[in-house]
Copies of this chain bind each other. A is one copy, B any other.
Amino acid sequence: MAEGKLQREVKKKRPFDSAEQEALLNVVRTGDRLQIHFTRLFREHELTPSQYNVLRILRGEGRPMECMEIAERTVAVVPGITGLIDRLEKAGLVTRQQSQEDRRVYLVTITACGLALLAGLDEPVLALHRKLLGHLTQSELEQLIRLLEKARSPWEDAD
């Protein structure tokens, strides 16, 4: 247990400066690696991870949403949403129309085509979850979730 695998992976000569650093690099690297697999899966369906996330949010909410709302629930910042919606609209997966109540806001709605695309991805996405983390026991998954939530707790809400 003395030297972790990440240490060998990045071929560092000396040990990590601290356990915090080793844990932090492990989290970041694992997150990257996880995302890569989903990126590949989505690409087979001409989607990027960001686009998939937006579609999932729209389906989950089940109603037209403002750009601001969407931005709040993704990593993306408001300006990035514009181009994202542009491309989704061009692909026919969402529609955008000006709100009548407040003409500053544009409401984004997922189309039947978008819903069908998501439906076709549900099973592969679940299968990929199992493939990537299925070798951990339920107890280990719970431990991992608990530790990560505790890690984020001081800086996730107010920073």
Contacts and interface: CB of A to CB of B under 8 A. Distances in A.
Given A9-B156, A144-B144, 9 more contacts: A5-B156, A17-B129, A20-B129, A26-B148, A27-B144, A30-B151, A33-B155, A144-B148, A147-B147
Interface residues of A, number: 57
Most buried by B among A17, A23, A130: A23
Contact of A19 (B73, B75, B142): B142
What's the number of copies of this chain in the assembled complex? 2
Interface of A: 1, 4-6, 9-13, 17-24, 26-35, 37, 60, 73, 75, 126, 129-130, 132-136, 138, 140-156
29 contacts: A1-B142, A5-B153, A5-B156, A11-B73, A13-B60, A17-B129, A18-B126, A18-B130, A19-B141, A20-B141, A21-B129, A22-B141, A22-B145, A23-B136, A23-B148, A24-B34, A24-B129, A24-B132, A27-B27, A27-B30, A28-B31, A29-B31, A29-B152, A32-B75, A33-B155, A136-B147, A136-B150, A140-B150, A144-B148
